Amino acid sequence: MRDRLRRFLHVRGGVLTGLVAMTLAGVLLSSTPVEAAKVYLNFAGSRPGGGWFYMAGGLSPILTREIKNLNVVAESTQGDVENVRRMATGDLDMAIVHAPTMAEAYLGVRSFKGKKPAKDVRVLMKFYDSPFGVLTLQKSGIKTFDDLKGKTIAGGPAGSGSIKNFKMALKAFGLLDTVKIRYLTYADETNAMIDGTLDAAAQNGLHSAWTLSLDAQRPLRLVRMSEAQRQLFLKTYAGFWAKTYDPTKVFKTIKEPYPTIWNSVFWVANKRVPEKIAYDIVKTVFTPKVKKTLPKIHRLMRGIANGVEEAKKSGLPMHPGAARYWKEKGIN
């Protein structure tokens, strides 16, 4: 009885009067079936112009339409760092995050040292593997990370994963104090690069609305780490690996292969998300009808996968609902 009442009402700090309580009890005990309570979840992506904004915004109405008694609302945020921070505090139900940042928060290390570990976070699936890159105009003369000394750089708004990774690289290479950092919206980055007030900008995933817009307007170059710098980054920071990115699949003006660093991008949920709801979310996303629409939301979502092994490597637990679905598919 109490469980049914709890599902019927969501009361925080309030007190029901005896009359209201008796009325509700009468409803629950009557022969008329009570419809299951609707579950409301927020889903954090990024700022407009960032790929995650479109991913969360595109998936939310699909889940709301396909799963009974579920309402998912996309939420615009600054991106990775804000998403991880708010997942750690329990402010968000679901979010898109970079695996290394989420693992730091889960363990309470590096940038999350001294803060309460984010032990309530669970992985639903992997969205894609993300290359890190730094873009500049071909006419800038900037070719390597060492050429960034004395330059003005950006990586999206404060709280984005792009600027976080950029600063991590610059710090590891001893260059952080040699650059001027600006925190800009993605639209402003495009304009600043064109008008010459910004020399270079980082972007995780590289495929983004603003990078494609800039590529359509100006010839671009990807700023390279030396191999020694790339190995230093991998030695310094966990959760990344080395791989070469092929820009010709995305960019018109960049033709050369780009050796860089990569990491996984996860869709995570708070453990308070009911197991059945988590199961239904994963099942729905991987139905052929829905899965074939994902690249139309964003090209990077072609890489969507179970993420079970990647979660293990990151030290992050799967959500019980997701784990149940993948176990049924023979993936443990």
Question: Any idea which residue has 């889903």 for tokens?
Answer: 43
* Strand (E) or helix (H) holding 234: helix 227-236
Taking the C-alpha atoms of residue 285 and residue 273, their distance in angstroms, rounded to an integer, is: 16
Q: What φ, ψ does residue 42 adopt, rounded to 5°?
A: -95, 155
Taking the C-alpha atoms of residue 255 and residue 310, their distance in angstroms, rounded to an integer, is: 30
Q: Residue 196 — left, alpha, or beta (φ > 0 → left; ψ -120 to 50 → alpha)? A: left
The torsion angle over the Cα atoms of residues 181, 182, 187 and 188, rounded to 10 degrees, is: -130
**Residue-wise pLDDT tens for the chain (332 aa)?**
434 333 333 333 333 334 334 333 443 444 445 567 899 999 999 998 889 999 999 999 999 999 999 999 999 999 999 999 999 999 999 999 999 999 999 999 988 999 999 999 999 999 999 999 999 999 999 999 999 999 999 999 998 899 999 999 999 999 999 999 999 998 899 999 999 999 999 999 998 889 999 999 999 999 999 999 999 999 999 889 999 999 999 999 999 999 999 999 999 999 999 999 999 999 999 999 999 999 999 998 998 999 999 999 999 999 999 999 999 999 98
| Fold classified for 131-263 | D-Maltodextrin-Binding Protein; domain 2 (3.40.190)
- Beta bridge partner(s), residue 70: 39
Q: Tell me, what's the pLDDT at 27?
A: 39
Please, where in the chain does CATH 3.40.190.10 lie?
39-129+266-328, 131-263
Q: Tell me, what's the pLDDT at 35?
A: 61
Q: Is 134 helix (H, G, I), strand (E, B) or coil?
A: strand
Question: What is each CA distance from 263 to 101, 130, 170, 211, 301, in whole angstroms?
Answer: 10, 5, 17, 19, 15
Q: Tell me, what's the pLDDT at 49?
A: 82
Which amino acid is present at 238? A
User: 0.85 cut: is pTM over it?
Assistant: no
Which amino acid is present at 323? A
Q: Is 10 helix (H, G, I), strand (E, B) or coil?
A: coil
Q: Tell me, what's the pLDDT at 186?
A: 86
Q: Tell me, what's the pLDDT at 23?
A: 39
| CATH 3.40.190.10 matches 39-129+266-328 | yes
